[in-house]
């Protein structure tokens, strides 16, 4: 699984907010194509990307033709699908999973007139490749605050997909903020080694519940962890992931991280239409509206809700960074001094747990 592989030095490949040469000539019509790692009906990651694609159609009407393909495995299959899309007249192709990184760049080299946009990756080997990401760790800080306040067992859990920096920084942020409000909290991490597999995700949630965990966050794509939490009849709560997962608002879901891709997709397709398109790398978060915090339900006490919302607002205002020192690494070595904030390069290459997280990161 290529998506599992990311060295700390990968951050050197990033030039955040870096622009390239604009494609000065506009287009009368754009064929915008999307490659999805899961099904649109996953209720999470792919569902939310598809909502963004539909926003493009709403924004531009008949100036845009949409095409998409679901359930494309990361690897050789992705390269085949991307080649077919490029040959089929796609002007811009959004590849919506980390593991599409190598395939995206390989196909981009063969089709220099097609624009490629890769989600959550770091390679821009060609002038027609741009990258975009969201600061999910900001939302994890809000969730961790709720988890630390709401747990009765002092045991909170996290379902990891694959051990890459995107996931590791979420685990660390979740734990740090739970620990900040509840020094007795303990975190258990279960790795599902999948992005979308409801059965495996359910098994991971069951394993956490069997350990006595009563608050579960996840970095996988389906609603299965919330469905398992619902079986405990109010004993376990959780969070929507990638999408609001509002169907569980009357049950275990107490809030959510919503990935709001629509504005970015509208911006990039609009730039092709008006001739202002340029290569770039984007990493936006709560402040930019790419990471939204879903409704905090009445199951959360008013004072906890206020605390979580105040944290959200401070992150949005830029007055608080979720990784602010002093913070040590798991091995006890110093990472961030008092008041220091983590550089983006450290976060983008993060392959270590912070102090207090138990267990090893799988290799």
- pLDDT-based confidence at 26, cuts 50/70/90? confident
Return the half-sphere exposure (C-beta side, CA atoms, 13 A cut-off) of residue 287. Answer: 10
pLDDT confidence of residue 16: 37
pLDDT tens string 154-169: 999 999 999 999 999 9
As a whole number, mean pLDDT of residues 298-304 equals 98
CB-based contact 62:83 (threshold 8 Å):
no
pLDDT confidence of residue 316: 98
As a whole number, mean pLDDT of residues 215-221 equals 97
- pLDDT-based confidence at 9, cuts 50/70/90? very low
pLDDT confidence of residue 195: 94
Question: Is the model's pLDDT at 19 over the cut of 80?
Answer: no
Strands 253-259 and 115-119: unpaired
Question: Is the model's pLDDT at 15 over the cut of 70?
Answer: no
3-state secondary structure of 157: strand
pLDDT confidence of residue 274: 96
DSSP string, 299-333: TS-HHHHHHHHHHHHHHHHTS--SSBSSEEBTTS-
pLDDT tens string 54-70: 999 999 999 999 999 99
pLDDT confidence of residue 1: 39
pLDDT tens string 232-280: 999 999 999 999 999 999 999 999 999 999 999 999 999 999 999 999 9
pLDDT, averaged across the chain: 93
Tokens of 32: 């915008």
pLDDT tens string 80-132: 999 999 999 999 999 999 999 999 999 999 999 999 999 998 999 999 999 99
pLDDT confidence of residue 23: 45
CB-based contact 31:65 (threshold 8 Å):
yes
DSSP string, 26-39: --S-EEEEEE-SS-
pLDDT confidence of residue 75: 85
For residue 118, give the nearest of 101, 102, 135 by alpha carbon: 101
Q: Quick one: residue 234, left, alpha or beta (phi over 0 = left, psi -120 to 50 = alpha)?
A: left
Question: Is the model's pLDDT at 199 over the cut of 70?
Answer: yes
pLDDT confidence of residue 17: 36
Task: Return the bridge partners of 33, or none.
Answer: 67, 93
Domains and CATH numbers, the chain: 2-135+260-284 (3.40.50.2300), 136-259+291-348 (3.40.50.2300)
Strands 237-242 and 186-191: unpaired
């Amino acid at each position: 699984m290529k998506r599992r592989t990311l060295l700390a030095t990968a951050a050197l490949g990033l030039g955040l907010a870096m622009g390239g040469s604009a494609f000065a000539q506009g287009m009368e019509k754009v064929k915008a194509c999307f490659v999805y790692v899961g099904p649109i009906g996953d209720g999470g990651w792919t569902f939310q990307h598809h909502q963004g694609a539909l926003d493009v159609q709403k924004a531009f009407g008949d100036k845009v033709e949409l095409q998409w393909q679901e359930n494309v495995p990361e690897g050789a299959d992705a390269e085949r699908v991307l080649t077919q899309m490029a040959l089929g007249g796609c002007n811009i192709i959004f590849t919506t999973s980390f593991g599409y990184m190598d395939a995206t760049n390989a196909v981009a080299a063969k089709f220099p007139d097609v624009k490629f946009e890769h989600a959550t990756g770091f390679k821009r080997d060609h002038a027609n490749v741009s990258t975009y990401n969201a600061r999910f760790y900001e939302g994890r800080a809000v969730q961790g605050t709720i988890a630390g306040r709401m747990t009765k067992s002092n045991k909170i859990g996290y379902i990891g997909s694959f051990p890459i920096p995107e996931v590791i920084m979420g685990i660390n942020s979740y734990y740090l903020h739970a620990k900040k409000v509840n020094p007795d909290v303990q975190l258990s991490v279960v790795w599902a080694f999948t992005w979308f597999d409801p059965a495996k995700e359910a098994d991971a949630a069951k394993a956490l519940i069997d350990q006595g965990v009563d608050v579960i966050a996840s970095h996988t794509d389906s609603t299965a962890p919330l469905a398992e939490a619902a079986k405990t009849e109010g004993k376990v709560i959780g969070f929507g992931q990638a999408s609001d997962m509002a169907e569980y608002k009357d049950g275990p879901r107490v809030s959510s991280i919503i990935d709001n891709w629509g504005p970015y997709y509208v911006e990039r397709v609009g730039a092709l239409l008006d001739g202002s398109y340029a290569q770039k790398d984007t990493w936006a978060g709560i402040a930019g509206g790419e990471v939204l915090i879903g409704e905090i339900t009445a199951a959360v006490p008013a004072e906890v809700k206020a605390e979580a919302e105040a944290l959200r607002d401070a992150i949005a205002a830029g007055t608080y960074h979720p990784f602010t020192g002093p913070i040590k690494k798991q091995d006890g070595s110093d990472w961030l001094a008092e008041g220091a904030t983590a550089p983006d390069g450290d976060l983008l290459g993060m392959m270590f747990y912070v102090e207090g997280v138990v267990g090893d990161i799988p290799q």
